[in-house]
Amino acid sequence: MTEVRIPLIGERFPEMGVQTTHGKMKLPEEFKGKWFVLFSHPADFTPVCTTEFVGFQVRQEKFKELDTELIGLSIDQVFSHIKWTEWIKDNIKVDGKAVEIKFPVIADDTGRIAKMLGLIHEAKGTNTVRAVFVVDPKSNIRAILYYPQELGRNVDEILRMVKGFQVSDKNGVAIPHNWPNNEIVGDHVIVPPASSENEVKKRKEAEKNGEMECFDWWLCHKKV
């Protein structure tokens, strides 16, 4: 019997057919070659979830600039999703403009997908928790976040994560705390520590040439 468990960071996002407010889709095939962020919410027509959906939509263009798509999910029916997004458009304004939810929302009324992705935490009830899956263009899961129902997410942090992954992948570097506003290195990124004596010598030479700055050979940083 095949073991059934939730996916982990570094694994491929599981294949699944889903019904959304934009029609049927196959994941992760739908977003092949792009980054995507899948986020679950406890239920439609709930206060905190409404603030989150508005937050994601307001920043959708920033995600698109990073070639990143958004897709929501809850265990409500597609009819509920459609009615709720209509309500948001009719009742919520940001900077004087109505908020129209333009990203698809998965209807998981059977709970099948929620179980596959580990979104039902029994101690918190039968609704989906606030989960986030960040998936790269190769359909590999790069990050998983879980929030309880009572705490709304920081969408700017999720946007920062996607930016950080892309900078890391492109430059072979690590991303410091609160980048690009780190207290120690500012908007610099971290150069991976040297793993041999020869690399330590090269690191010191690179510092002399102004290619990077170092507190020590194992803690170096640079601008990208």
What are the angstrom distances between the C-alpha of 153 and each of 40, 128, 149, 157, 162?
11, 14, 10, 8, 15
Q: What is the DSSP letter of 75?
A: S
Please pick, among 27, 37, 38, 49, the residue that the annotation labels catalytic. 49
CA distance 40 to 177: 25
Phi/psi of residue 52, nearest 5 degrees: -70, -45
Strand partners, 24: 19
Beta carbons of 71 and 38 less than 8 angstroms apart: yes
In what side-by-side order are the strands of the sheet with 141-147? Answer: 23-27, 16-20, 105-107, 68-74, 35-40, 130-135, 141-147
Q: Quickly count: other Cβ atoms within 10 Å of residue 79's Cβ.
A: 12
For residue 165, the surrounding DSSP H or E stretch is helix 155-171
What are the angstrom distances between the C-alpha of 74 and each of 23, 81, 86?
15, 9, 16
The answer to whether 220 is a known catalytic residue is no
Calculate Rg over the CA atoms of the chain.
Answer: 20
Catalytic residues: 49
